[in-house]
């Protein structure tokens, strides 16, 4: 791959609509390459501040029940439609991953948590880029339910762990072009010492 092709690959990544995402998702071998890309993220102090949890297809109903349970706990009188919609969300995307932050506190390390989060963010981006290179669309989502204690427990996360996002991977018939991106000059400036 040339540098130009790599630049094109990075800038052509866009998020797909989960409703339009279809099978197949990445194979086990492709998923390994995607996860290895995460492991190549910069990691100050080699703290391993994230891990990836796969939600297999036979666990989607259980995930849907977990979403519905959170809705029931956080809304006074949820409608059947809201519960059905919560359950349906768990079925979307042929491959569904959860990015889990495993953050170390200042009792363990002098490396601040924001650096550990940046590491997880870099890993997330590497994963979707490798998926894109392999011909898969992706979407990162979180949602209100994901912040609930019930959800944390239901996923089996440890005390020092945090749900960071879902990563859904699959095929889309026609990827939509990127929009709303900043130009380089909007982000880049030059420091002038005072």
Task: List interacting residues with ligand FMN (CB under 6 A).
Answer: 14-15, 139-143, 165, 178
In whole angstroms, the minimum distance from the beta carbon of 42 to ligand FMN comes to 17
In whole angstroms, the minimum distance from the beta carbon of 103 to ligand FMN comes to 15
Choose between 31 and 167: whose C-beta lies nearer to ligand FMN: 167
In whole angstroms, the minimum distance from the beta carbon of 177 to ligand FMN comes to 9
Choose between 54 and 144: whose C-beta lies nearer to ligand FMN: 144
Choose between 14 and 85: whose C-beta lies nearer to ligand FMN: 14
Residue given tokens 């889309």 in the structure block: 172
Residues shown for the chain: 194
Choose between 9 and 109: whose C-beta lies nearer to ligand FMN: 9
Choose between 22 and 108: whose C-beta lies nearer to ligand FMN: 22
DSSP string covering the chain, please? --HHHHHHHHHT--BPPGGG-BS----HHHHHHHHHHHHTS--GGG---EEEEEE-GGGHHHHHHHHHHHHHHHSSS--HHHHHHHHHHTT-SSEEEEEEEE---TTT-SS-HHHHHHHHHHHHHHHHHHHHHTT-EEEEE--SGGGSHHHHHHTT--TTEEEEEEEEEEB-SSPPPP-SPPPHHHH-------
In whole angstroms, the minimum distance from the beta carbon of 139 to ligand FMN comes to 5
In whole angstroms, the minimum distance from the beta carbon of 131 to ligand FMN comes to 13
Task: Retrieve residue 29's tokens.
Answer: 């071998």
């Amino acid at each position: 791959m040339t540098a130009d092709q790599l630049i094109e690959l990075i800038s052509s990544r866009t998020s797909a609509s989960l409703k339009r995402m279809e099978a197949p998702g990445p194979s086990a071998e492709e998923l390994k390459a995607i996860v290895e890309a995460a492991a190549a993220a910069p990691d100050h102090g080699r703290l391993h501040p994230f891990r990836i949890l796969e939600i297999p297809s036979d666990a989607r109903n259980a995930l849907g029940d977990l979403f519905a349970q959170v809705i029931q706990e956080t809304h006074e009188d949820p409608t059947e439609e809201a519960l059905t919609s919560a359950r349906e969300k768990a079925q979307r995307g042929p491959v569904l991953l959860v990015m889990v932050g495993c953050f170390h506190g200042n009792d363990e390390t002098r490396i601040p948590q924001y650096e550990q989060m940046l590491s997880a963010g870099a890993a997330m981006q590497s994963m979707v880029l490798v998926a894109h290179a392999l011909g898969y669309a992706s979407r990162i989502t979180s949602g209100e339910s994901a912040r609930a204690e019930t959800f944390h427990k239901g996923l089996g996360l440890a005390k020092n762990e945090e749900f960071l996002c879902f990563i859904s991977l699959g095929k889309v018939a026609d990827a939509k072009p990127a929009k709303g991106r900043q130009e380089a000059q909007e982000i880049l400036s030059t420091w002038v010492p005072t």
